[in-house]
Structure 1
Amino acid sequence: MVDIIIAEDHSIVRHGLRSLLQMVPDLTVVAEAKNGAEAISLLTEGLQANLLLTDLNMPVMDGIALTKQVSAQFPQVKSIVLSALDHERYVVQSFNAGAHGFILKNTSADELVFAIKHVSAGNQYICSELTTRFLNRMMTSSEPVDTEETNEIRFSARETEVLNYLADGMTNQEIADKLFTSKRTVEGYRESMITRTGVRNTVALIRFAMRYGVIN
C-alpha cells in the first residue's frame, strides 16, 4: 500500500489528483496540503505516509524546500515533484533536494500511476517527455571541452561499463547491483569521471562520452 500526501496550492488540481489516485488499487491519499509548511506539520504531528506528491511553486514553502526538509527529517517518505515547469534546472534542483521523481502536469494518468509505483519500489523516475527532450538536447548540443586535455583522458573498462549503464538511465544502486559492488563505489566512479572531464553533471558526462566515442 502506498500512502500519499498531496501538496498543491490549487484546490481543483489537488482534488483532481485525489480522485484519480483513489481509484487505483494499493494507492491511498492520506492527506492534502495547500503548501509545504502544511505538509511538514502533518508529518511532524505523526501522519503516516510513504510518498509525497508535491507541486513546485507554492506559497509559504515551495516544493524544493519541502522536498529538502522531508528528505532530511522523514527519509522514509519518497518525494515526486509534479510541475508545469519543464526546464532542466528545475529537475536538477528537485533531485538535488532529495526528490525521487519529476513529472510534468501534462503527463498521462497512467504514467503518473506508474511513476508513483516505480518510486515507491525504491527507484527514480523522470517523465518520458522530459527524458526524450533531455536525450535530444544531449545528442545535439556540445559541451565546451579543451581538445588537448580531452586526448589525455582515459577511461577504464569498469568506468566504461558505468557510463553505458548511466546512458541507459540506470540509477547508481541499479548499476551497483549489476556490477556486484556498492552504490558508493559507483558514485565514486561517476564523480571521478565528472572531475576529470570537467563537465557539470551526469547528463553532460554522458554527452561527453558519446561525443568522443567512449560509448555509442
Structure 2
Amino acid sequence: MKKIILAEDHKVIRDGLKMLLESTGEYQIIFTAGNGQEVLDALDQGCQADLIVSDIGMPVVDGITMVRIIKEKGFNVPVLFVSMFEDESHLYQAMSGGAVGFLTKSVNSNELFFALSKVFSGERYVCSCLSIKLVDKMIEKSLPVAIGIQGSEFSSREIEILELIGQGLTNSEIADKLFISRRTVEGHRQNLIDKTGAKNTAVLMRFAYTKGILS
C-alpha cells in the first residue's frame, strides 16, 4: 500500500480526496496538511511517504515554494499537484520546481488514478486538458508569420496548385495534370511559401487549411 501525504487548505476537498484515494485499498493517507509548511514540518520530523498530493494555492507556504524547499532539503519524495489553476505559468513553475505531475481539479477520478499509476511507475504526468493546450500552442507557433494573409491574395493558379499539393501530388504529377512545366510548378510552390512565410510545404498546407483557403 502506497503512503501519501495530502496537502489541501480546503477541508471539504481534503476530506473528499482522502476518502476517494483510500477507497481503492491501494493508498493510505498517513498525514493531512492545510498548507505547505505543515508538510515540511512533517518531513523534518521523519514522516515517510511515497508521494505528496498537494494543492498549489495554500496559505503560509504555497505548493510551489514547498516543492522547491523539499528538493533543496533533499527529501526523496515526489510531489503531484492537484490545483484549481489551469494556466501554463503555474504548470511551468510547478514542473521546473521539481513536481512530477500536474492535474487540474476538473479531472475525473479515472484520470487521477491514471496519473498516480504513472507517477508511481517513475514517469511524469500532465493532465490531458493542459497537454492539449500546450499542443495547440505549439501548432500556433509553427504557423507562418504572415498569418494575416487571406485566400484572396493567392492567384487562382496558386490555389489550384495548393489543392493538388493537398492531394499528395508531386511537382511532376501536378505539371502533367495542369499541362505546365515542372519548373513552373516549383516556382508557384516557392511563391506560396514566400507569401506565407512557411518554413516548408507541411506548414504551408497547415496554414491553408487553418485559414480556410482549402477545406
Q: Which category of TM-score, normalised to the shorter sequence, fits these structures?
A: 0.5 to 0.7
1:128 is aligned to 128
For 1:81, what is the secondary structure of its paired residue?
Answer: strand
Query: Equivalents in 1 of 2:131, 2:11: separation in Å?
Result: 29
User: How far off its partner does 1:130 sit?
Assistant: 0.7
What do the CA deviations read for 1:119-144 (whole angstroms, capped 9, x no partner)? 12111000011111111121123599
What do the CA deviations read for 1:142-199 (whole angstroms, capped 9, x no partner)? 5999xxxxxxxxxxxxxxxxxxxxxxxxxxxxxxxxxxxxxxxxxxxxxxxxxxxxxx
What is the aligned-residue identity percentage? 34
Residue 43 (structure 2) pairs with residue 43 (structure 1): yes
What letter is aligned with 1:31? F
2:9 is aligned to 9
2:181 is aligned to none
Contact 1:78 1:120 in 2 (8 A): no
Report the aligned-residue RMSD.
2.3
Change (3 A) 1:84 1:143: farther
1:104 is aligned to 104
What do the CA deviations read for 1:57-83 (whole angstroms, capped 9, x no partner)? 010000001111122324421001111
What letter is aligned with 1:22? E
TM-score normalized with structure 2 length: 0.65
Deviates more, 1:47-56 or 1:68-77: 68-77
Contact 2:52 2:79 in 1 (8 A): yes
Query: Equivalents in 2 of 1:50, 1:20: separation in Å?
Result: 17
Change (3 A) 1:13 1:74: farther
1:160 is aligned to none
Query: Equivalents in 2 of 1:212, 1:103: separation in Å?
Result: 35
Query: Equivalents in 2 of 1:4, 1:91: separation in Å?
Result: 22
1:65 is aligned to 65
Change (3 A) 1:129 1:77: same
1:119 is aligned to 119
Contact 2:144 2:199 in 1 (8 A): no
2:54 is aligned to 54
TM-score normalized with structure 1 length: 0.65
Which consecutive residues of structure 1, in runs of 5 or more, have no partner in the other structure? 146-210
What letter is aligned with 1:103? L
Query: Equivalents in 2 of 1:98, 1:2: separation in Å?
Result: 20
For 1:141, what is the secondary structure of its paired residue?
Answer: helix
Contact 1:18 1:29 in 2 (8 A): yes
Query: Equivalents in 1 of 2:29, 2:141: separation in Å?
Result: 41
Contact 1:49 1:77 in 2 (8 A): yes
Change (3 A) 1:212 1:99: farther
For 2:91, what is the secondary structure of its paired residue?
Answer: helix
1:91 is aligned to 91
Query: Equivalents in 2 of 1:23, 1:87: separation in Å?
Result: 30
What letter is aligned with 1:61? V
Query: Equivalents in 2 of 1:93, 1:11: separation in Å?
Result: 25
What letter is aligned with 1:138? M
Query: Equivalents in 2 of 1:212, 1:51: separation in Å?
Result: 44
1:20 is aligned to 20
User: How far off its partner does 1:109 sit?
Assistant: 0.7
What letter is aligned with 1:65? T
User: How far off its partner does 1:110 sit?
Assistant: 1.1
